[in-house]
Amino acid sequence: MKRILCVQDISCLGRCSQTIALPVLSAMGMEVTVLPTAVLSTHTGFPNPAVRDLSDLIVPAAEHWKREGVRFDVIYTGYLGSAEVVDAVQEAIRLLRGTDTRMFVDPVMGDHGRLYARLDADYVRLNAAFCGQADVIVPNLTEACLLTGTAYREEWTETELRELLRRLSSLGPGETVLTGVSLSAGRTGVLGYRRGGGTYFACQSRRIPAAFHGTGDLFASVALGALVRGLPDEKAFQLAADYTALTIARTVGDGTEERFGVNFEETLPELLRMLQTELKQQKDAV
Ligand code: PXL
């Protein structure tokens, strides 16, 4: 079984970050070590959450795991929330990253063209350097624009998106996957770029017009889980796009408030069926 170190906050209410990543990755069949970077009463989409910063836990926890000889197959980072946390996480990665440890970075910073509350330009700069060390990064369009100093807009041609991908790629990650991009009307998904081969890939699914908190975290966790289970990029990101669309549609149908996040608990059985189908197809193909 693969062991994933999952580094992000615990938002107690409003499903996102660890409260999505842990159940999703566990259900998809991997061992998860959680490193909470902060505990918040809610995500920052609610006004005035109570916050406990845990930046001083990060390096001692990493030193402890190192003393115990623990190795991680993947280090997965999401919302980090402060410059102190980013610095500490970088030190933890220096201690824990082996030659075969993959680093999957979701540079969670904003959405709909705006930085999340509590984050600033300094934080963006630190994240750009951090992304340079990753094997895979999965920014949304807002984050991609912030990371590259590009003016945000809603409408992009595929040629413009490819240019944005190359700019992101020059930060240094092995693979850059832009999320939440639409390549045709009524569809949304990803456009990816592999630096090694200079190749692009696209995965699109139906676009559900709703803006629930935590959908980016759900998408990233599912894509990572599928990659770790051995699906190729195109299949892993397609699965994540299809499953996220399904879950948003179900949540809209339930009438859930956007700030409470998506009802992924209802659709996890479907995720596992979709994953098994893909794994079986892959096995039958060889
Ligand atoms: O879903 C991203 C996220 C994660 N963690 C915290 C957040 C947000 C988005 O607002 O505030 C604390």
Determine which residue's CA is closest to atom 12 belonging to ligand 1. Answer: 43
Contacts (Cβ under 8 Å, ≥6 apart) of 71:
3, 98, 101
At residue 286, the pLDDT reads 84
Q: Which of 6, 8, 9 for mutating ligand 1's site (highest number of atoms within 8 Å of CB)?
A: 9
Q: State mean pLDDT over 124-147.
A: 98
Quote the CA–CA distance of 221 and 64 in Å, as a whole number: 26
Quote the CA–CA distance of 76 and 74 in Å, as a whole number: 6
Residues in the chain: 286
Q: State mean pLDDT over 188-217.
A: 96
Task: Quote the ligand 1 centre to 134 CA distance (angstroms).
Answer: 21
Antiparallel, parallel or unpaired: β 114-115 and 110-111: antiparallel
Task: Quote the ligand 1 centre to 238 CA distance (angstroms).
Answer: 24
Task: Quote the ligand 1 centre to 129 CA distance (angstroms).
Answer: 20
Atom of ligand 1 at shortest distance to CA of 118?
A: 11
Rg from Cα positions in the chain = 18
Burial class (CB in 10 A: 0-12, 13-18, 19+), 266: middle
At residue 40, the pLDDT reads 98
Across the chain, mean pLDDT equals: 97
Domain boundaries, the chain: 3-274
At residue 54, the pLDDT reads 97
Atom of ligand 1 at shortest distance to CA of 81?
A: 12
Quote the CA–CA distance of 279 and 231 in Å, as a whole number: 7
Q: Which of 13, 79, 143 for mutating ligand 1's site (highest number of atoms within 8 Å of CB)?
A: 79
Atom of ligand 1 at shortest distance to CA of 17?
A: 4
For CA atoms 42, 48, 50, 53, the dihedral sign is positive
Q: Which of 40, 85, 116 for mutating ligand 1's site (highest number of atoms within 8 Å of CB)?
A: 116
Count of other CB atoms within 10 angstroms of residue 257? 10
Task: Quote the ligand 1 centre to 239 CA distance (angstroms).
Answer: 23
Task: Quote the ligand 1 centre to 117 CA distance (angstroms).
Answer: 9
pTM: 0.97
Q: Please, what's the b/e burial string for 166-195 (b: 16 or more CB within 10 A of its CB; e: otherwise)? A: ebbbebbbebbbbbbbbbeeeebbbbbbbb
Homologous superfamily (CATH) of 3-274 is Ribokinase (3.40.1190.20)
275, pLDDT greater than 90? yes
Task: Quote the ligand 1 centre to 10 CA distance (angstroms).
Answer: 9
17 torsion bin: left (phi>0), alpha (psi -120 to 50), beta (else): left
Q: Which of 16, 39, 127 for mutating ligand 1's site (highest number of atoms within 8 Å of CB)?
A: 16
Q: Which residues line ligand 1 (CB under 6 A)?
A: 9, 11, 16-17, 40, 43-45, 79, 108, 116, 213-214, 216-217
Q: State mean pLDDT over 142-169.
A: 97
Q: State mean pLDDT over 233-255.
A: 98
pLDDT band at 239, cuts 50/70/90? Answer: very high
Q: Which of 9, 39, 43 for mutating ligand 1's site (highest number of atoms within 8 Å of CB)?
A: 43
From the centroid of its chain, how far is CA 180? Answer: 12
- 92 close to 58: Cβ distance less than 8 angstroms: yes
The residues facing 17 across adjacent strands are none
Q: State mean pLDDT over 224-248.
A: 98
Task: Quote the ligand 1 centre to 186 CA distance (angstroms).
Answer: 26
